[in-house]
Homo-oligomer: A and B are copies of this chain.
Amino acid sequence: MNQPRESDRLIRGRQALAAIDGDAGEKVVSALADIAPDFATYLLEFPFGDIHSRPGLALREREIATIAALTAMGTAAPQLKVHIEAGLNVGVSQQEIVEIIMQMAVYAGFPAALNGLFIAKEVFADRATHAEQESL
C-alpha cells in the first residue's frame, strides 16, 4: 500500500464505518493493526468507502440485508454482532431485527435463526446495561 495520503475512499470509508458500526467497527480496525494493517485499510475502503457509501439503497436497508445474510451463513458470529449494533445505529428497531432473524429459519433453517436470536439477545442486553450505566 504505497499511499502517502489517505485516499478519498479511505476517508469516506472511515466516516461510513463510524456512522454505521460505531465503536465496534473501530475495535475491529484496531485489532488488525499488528497482524494485517493493510486489511484494515481494505475494510475501510471497499465495504465502507465503496459499497455502503453508494446512493442506490438506504443504510437502514443495507443493514437489513447484512443481518439477514450473516444470520443465514452461520459462520460469522462476531460480524453478526457488529451488524446488529449497526442496524440499531441506523434505524432498524429491536423488533425488526428479531423479525429478520426469525425469517431466516425459512431460508437457512431453525438452527441458523436460533443462533442469530441468541446473538441478538446478547447485543440487546449489553445495550440495556450501557444505557442504564449512562443514566446513573
Contact = CB atoms under 8 A, between A and B. Distances in A.
Interface of A: 28, 31-32, 34-36, 38-39, 42-43, 46-47, 50-52, 54, 56-57, 61-62, 64-76, 78-79, 95-96, 98-115, 117-118, 120-121, 124
Given A61-B61, A69-B108, A117-B35, A42 B50 contact: yes
A65 B110 CA distance: 15
Q: Is the interface of A mostly helix, strand, loop or mixed?
A: helix
A43 B102 CA distance: 10
Contacts of A43: 110, 114
A115 B76 contact: yes
12 contacts: A35-B117, A36-B117, A38-B54, A38-B102, A39-B98, A39-B117, A46-B106, A47-B106, A56-B96, A66-B107, A70-B111, A73-B73
